Amino acid sequence: MTITYREALRQGLREALAGDPRVFLVGEDVGRYGGTYAVSKGLLEEFGPERVRDAPLSELAFVGAGIGAALGGMKPIVEVMTVNFSLLPLDQIVNTAAILRHMSGGQFAVPLVIRMATGAGRQLAAQHSHSFEGWYAHVPGLKIVAPATIDDAHGMLGAALAEDNPVLVFEYPALFETAGDLSSTPVDIAHAAVRRQGTRVTIVAYGGCVPKALSAAEKLAAEGINAEVVDLRVLRPLDMDTVLASVRKTRRAVIVDEGWRSGSLSAEIVARIMEQAFYDLDAPVARVCREEVPIPYPKHLEEAALPQPEKIVAAARGLFQ
């Protein structure tokens, strides 16, 4: 069945609500408005206001309420409109949800899922276009997932709800209109995936940058460079076994990250490759990140600030010079 990334997210939400009476959705505009990105459209009419709850404009309050509901035995899905706004409940996420299991000696679980839109590419300007996935991947006690495909957009939510610890699901508005086939393959939130087999260079990406990595791999193939593309899928805990197996095969690597280069998740991945596969490399590991600026509003400047297939191709090509 061919559906869009947006519809895959909606189907995942619908199945979660239908499958467990403990599950409810809460966030700004998730009910009557149908969600800022129309992901929850129609769910209020189907499940009612007790299960699809419009929240006041206070992320600190409704994320905290979600944590309390999780502690009380519910399975809340909290929607934060955009990752930029997640800085408002940062204390609730990092200083409460992430550490309660540890600080209670394992007595309390926090089966909370927080969904948020992330990334740039839709001319939403700097206050709606950050990519903070790498920030959250720094925090023990959280699991961080980044669906890049139709199957993952549909299936990662159900897998996240099965966890006893908080899971943050980062969704990519730049992918919402992309379409593909929805399969019946089970989705896990533990492993990276090789999206394209190759032998000459490994391109590691996640989320909205995966299609760009695949496009770059096609361009490189035309030059005789057969690139392998690894989709991280899960940013914490990182599945480095899959990444290292690919790097040991191709002996070269390019890391693509929509976050800023300084202090980025890409830096962590490069460090782990250097620690564990240094003698397997034939060239230094390269990185392609967003430019060190707030995301501009004009389309041509926004595109220039982000990783693009041409930049990935140039970085990979440079490993052979």
Query: In whole angstroms, what separates CA 57 from the centre of its chain?
Result: 24
Q: Is residue 128 among the annotated active site residues?
A: yes
Catalytic residue list contains 59: yes
Distance, CA of 308 to CA of 216 (rounded, Å): 8
In one-letter notation, the amino acid at residue 285 is: V
Question: How far is residue 128's CA from residue 149's CA, in Å, rounded to a whole number?
Answer: 22
Among residues 59, 79, 258, 268, the one annotated as catalytic is 59
Give me the half-sphere count of Cα atoms (radius 13 Å) on the Cβ side of residue 57.
0
3-class SS at 226? Answer: coil
Burial level of 117, CB count in 10 A (0-12/13-18/19+)?
buried
DSSP secondary structure of 80-127: EEEGGGGGTTHHHIIIIITTHHHHTTTS-----EEEEE---SSS--GG
Q: Which of 7, 28, 79, 128 is catalytic?
A: 128
User: Which of the residues are catalytic?
Assistant: 59, 128
